[in-house]
Structure 1
Amino acid sequence: MEDERAREELDEAIDSLVEAPEQDRATRVDKVEEIVANDVLASSYARLQFLIGTIAFLLPVVVALFDWLIDDQGIRGSISSYYYGRTGGWFVGSLCAIGVFLLSYNLRPRPGFGVDNILTNLASVAVIGVALFPTSSEGEAATGGSAVVALVHVICAGVFFVLLAVLALFFFTRIDDRRYGFRRGLWRAVRNDPGTSPSRQRDNLVYRLCGWTIVACLALIVVNNALDLGWLFWLEAVIVWAFGVSWLRKSANVARALRKLTSVVRMGA
């Protein structure tokens, strides 16, 4: 993802600043500040990542908890079915907000990340589609136009969930493809490069855990729907939580780089 490359560039610039002779430090401070201000937009990325992760993490909790508190309603069959409850506004608003934030996230795309941007934009369209095309009401068979709307909802949800797994597994962890090439970058997304820093290895572990959790839940959703096990809400909730955790981790990474920048700039002032 763009911010991963940006964070690497920022870390490299900061490290060179720390090691620079006193007479060269002012020039290198200017370079670091240029990266942050004119290229990375790191603070904006961090805020967007934090908002996306927080909204996603809270979504299943809020819709289920307040539906229960207001109407004494037990857990519904799926997160999407809360569209028809008292918390339907929160459901629609949260998904639309995530979609808008995902689209805004690539407002200034960086060279070499066209595929990443396309996938994120597709995820944005898909999650907004989930919000605007509701599933069929529980206990009622969808017919006519409502059946078409429900089908669009299922397709959008499936596309969104698959893209979440792909992004977490193959793009959040990917090494800069300018250096390694796209295919080798994808290969290193499933195993760490020998030169990967310990902090990056920890980040990649979190992203892979989130991605494979989403994949496992998608497989279990197929089993659940075939056997009518009644697990759909919880499987969807785990997917959304894994999505939220991965983006909160990304937000923490950028925030950490900014704190490092602040301390180094103060040292060089």
Structure 2
Amino acid sequence: MNLPSISLKQGIHVMHLFYRVDRWRWLQLPSGESTGRRERLTALCQANQAACQPRLTCYANVGGKADLVFMLQHATLDGIARLHRDLEACFPAGVLQPVFSYLSVTELTEYMPTLEDAKLRLQRQENLAPGTPEYEKRLAEEAKRVEDYMHYRLYPELPDWEVMGFYPMNKRRQAGDNWYLLNFEQRKLLMGGHARTGRKYAGRVVQMITGSTGLDDWEWGVTLVARQADTIKEIVYEMRFDEVSARYADFGPFYINLRLSPEALWDHLRLPQV
């Protein structure tokens, strides 16, 4: 049965999947089954390794909350649904025990800097007059920056760095700390400060913010990719002091994961080669 093809107006679907491995069931596998299953997972990863989508990335969780972690990216809802089932079919029935899953989509933030913001900044902060060569040159640079930001926010290309951190979050809706009762100008000002904090980590942390309001139990998923765990700790800690986090954010569980190939996953998890 073919699934209906369902696309987004813009952006892609993202799914984070966390599993434990039932080792007792694994030990009951017939001889040679382990190698065959690993080869199936390797083939699936190789068939889905586009820079943005379709993409399947493998990780080992560090800390004991899960064993195996997978991040799936696909343009269509039916595509990511098939990829999810193709992934689980790489393992014998009952071996994978779901721990946590998260479905979201890439999106543009309503608080992102616009070209109109850039025009005002060029005039007020850089003292450039509209129509001058200097103004037009800088405006073209700002337009390209906004265009690139929009593209990579919607169609992210995460580097294959060693560490991936993930956590879901909500904006708070409690008494005097209700994010959704603030007016747009207040929210944009607060988010602007939050973004400036994040930009300080350019080159050390790459982030993918995905939205899930109405799709999953939280409102956003935050994926942070880095080469060291302490870098992720630093950025999350520093951002806690921004008012938008300190006053208006609630966080779910945090997962730290190591980027590994299927072959390395088998070795790291000490899965016997039955």
TM-score higher than 0.5: no
Greater fraction strand: 2
The TM-score normalised by the length of structure 1 is 0.33
Greater fraction helix: 1
The TM-score normalised by the length of structure 2 is 0.33
